[in-house]
Amino acid sequence: MADLATTPVILDGVRTPIGRFLGGLSTLSGPELGAVAVREAVARADVDVDDIDEVIMGNVVSAGAGQAPARQAAVNAGIPAKVPAVTVNKVCGSGLKAVMLAAQAIRARDARLVVAGGFESMSNVPYYVRGLRGGVKLGDRKLQDGLVHDGLWCSFGNCHMGGHAEYTAAKAGVT
């Protein structure tokens, strides 16, 4: 028989707001979008924020979002600052990995109540200029799209992730 104290249960699910790239939600940071979802999930689950043991949130491109994006989302959602929060980056699987880590923490009896999910704001990913910090003494510097470099480009296959998805689908016979 399963030990109910260590059986993870999803109390509710909320989707972060979805908008068009550079659209109406582009003024909101990833952590701000995450806070909307966290606040609503906690409200729907009807749990006391003081009972939350941890917040685990996935976020792929945190450049420009400030330190500790998951913590920003949690605190801005009304979760007490004493509750630890961690940001997970497992690329497209970041949010799912956050939920898996929450389930593992519950099974291991490290936590009883964990908020887990993910957020992203592709519209707010900055451009990079490599070598600028040391100063440009002579010549040009290349402007690099952080969204492509850190979010949509495979570091191992040296190709766009969309191409990888198409390749994988074709290889697996998925139409």
Query: Over pLDDT 70: what percentage of the chain?
Result: 99
CA distances from residue 159 to 17, 50, 65, 109, 165 in whole angstroms, order as listed: 29, 45, 25, 41, 11
Token pair for residue 15?
Answer: 């989707």
- Residue 2: pLDDT over 80: no
pTM equals 0.92
Q: Are residues 114 and 137 in the same domain?
A: no
Q: Are residues 75 and 137 in the same domain?
A: no
Total domain count, the chain: 2
- Ordered alpha helix ranges (H), 11-160: 30-45, 69-76, 94-107, 146-147
Q: What is the pLDDT of residue 137?
A: 87
Q: Are residues 70 and 18 in the same domain?
A: yes
Tell me what the mean pLDDT of segment 132-141 comes to.
Answer: 90
Domain of residue 80 covers 4-124
Q: What is the pLDDT of residue 76?
A: 99
Alpha-carbon distance of 90 to 136, in angstroms, equals 34
CATH assignment of the domain containing 34: 3.40.47.10
